[in-house]
Amino acid sequence: MSVGNQMRNSVTVAAQNDAATLVGFPSSGNVSVQIAGSLSATITFEATCDNTNWVALHMQPVGSAPAATTAVTTATAAGIWNASTQAYSGVRARCSAYTSGSPVITLKYNGV
């Protein structure tokens, strides 16, 4: 879904490589990833400049204990993470390893 300088996409993970993806950012801005529900899986945060080649994206956890303020490229539990979209054309949160659960991954972009 896209409204003005906002975009959103959600997916329920049921297998490895399921991903919530946003591409075609109209300007630089910020993206948030929320993982909700139970999971025994690894979610990898990735960005692209050409919509073909994806690389790890460092995202900052939100609402974590002060010791957990280091940016990360993966998550194994529910939570929210933020990052700048810089000059990327797309961002995704992809299930890179899956054992069980059905977490919902939501990406939200807010343009400047």
- The pLDDT mean for the chain works out to 91
Which are the contacts of 3, defined by CB distance < 8 A and separation ≥ 6?
A: none
Residue 99's CATH number: 2.60.120
∠ CA 93-85-98, rounded to 5°: 10
Q: What is the pTM of this model?
A: 0.91
The domain tally of the chain equals 1
- Show the tokens assigned to 90: 């797309």
Convert the pLDDT of each residue in 40-95 to its tens digit: 999 999 999 999 999 999 999 987 655 556 899 999 999 999 999 988 999 999 99
Range of the domain at 19: 2-111
